[in-house]
Structure 1
Amino acid sequence: MPSEKELTAHQSVIELHQWIEDVFTGRAGHPSTLEKLLSSFSASFSMITIKGQLIGLAEVETLFRQQSSGRPELRIEIDACETLAETAESVVCRYRETHHWQGSVQSRWSLAIIDIDNGQPVWRYLHETAIAQ
């Protein structure tokens, strides 16, 4: 039976990617969604992109702001979410993320460390690895 922290982390994976989709597609309300999205990340957040680059929160924020409304047809699917580890403070999740955009489909495996602070998920780390087509 999944713990409350685990359920919170898995729900955060789904919600965060819905918010990303909303921001990139420019759906109504996306400026407030962008702020909600950015507040989901730790100040020390870092990630490894599918191109192997190490970036921090400032670069992620710049990406979201620059890409806002830039991909109106984007659809993101999340599946295969599972917990790999759980500590007193965090949950480590692996999930598959699939982007549908302009007739192409790109998938990646993602590994996230999500801290749970007073019941709220805060993303600390993300590592993305492209899945060969």
Structure 2
Amino acid sequence: MPDNAIARAERSIHHVHELIHLMFTRPPGQTQAVLGGLMAVFAEDFSMVGTAGKVLERPQVEQLFRTAAGTRAGLAISVDQVRVVWQAGAHVAVRYQETHRWNGQQTQRWSLAIVECTATGVIWHCLHETPQAEPTAATTTKHDGILPGP
């Protein structure tokens, strides 16, 4: 199961973002089935920390998607640098980079998802997003921006 869990968790990252893309780009009247499929992957106690640092519980996440349905025609979402950073049996923590391109602007974030690979599917328990900032002279040091410079 462990290697299978890793592969399933990685596939789920891509699948969920395909559904998110459809939610944002399809007309609102065409998103109900997509929303059902998307919310089905989130555990009843799912929560996330968004890029603004606010904690959202599952009902708030669902409302966010309902409100945003169809509001970003032309949005492109890409996911790369997918890497399993922890695993305990069927539970897997996956870190990935997510890039959004819309209206001539690009934003990037690092995300960490904790998922459980069950017999019936992959269930997301937690998601934490951290926005990526462009490196500046003040933050880029010999420590690669991880620690403050001397």
SS in 1 for 2:52: coil
Query: 2:8 maps to which residue?
Result: 8
Structure 1 or 2: more strand by fraction: 1
**Separation (CA, whole Å) in 1 of partners of 2:22 and 2:13:** 14
Q: Quote the offset at 1:29 in angstroms.
A: 4.9
Q: Kindly indicate whether structure 1 or structure 2 has the higher relative contact order, using CA contacts under 8 Å at least 6 residues apart.
A: 1
Where structure 2 has 5 or more consecutive residues not aligned to the other structure, the ranges are 135-150
Length, aligned pairs only: 132
Query: 2:68 maps to which residue?
Result: 67
CA RMSD of aligned residues (A): 1.4
Asked if 1:108 corresponds to 2:125, the answer is no
TM-score, normalised by the number of residues in structure 2: 0.84
SS in 1 for 2:7: helix
**Separation (CA, whole Å) in 2 of partners of 1:102 and 1:74:** 8
**Separation (CA, whole Å) in 2 of partners of 1:87 and 1:118:** 16
SS in 2 for 1:71: coil
**1:35 is aligned with what amino acid?**
G
Alignment of 1:1-133 (within 5 A): 3-26=3-26, 29-133=30-134
SS in 2 for 1:3: helix
**Separation (CA, whole Å) in 2 of partners of 1:89 and 1:5:** 6
**2:24 is aligned with what amino acid?**
F
Q: Is the radius of gyration larger for structure 1 or structure 2?
A: 2
TM-score, normalised by the number of residues in structure 1: 0.94
Query: 2:146 maps to which residue?
Result: none
Q: State the identity as a percent.
A: 33
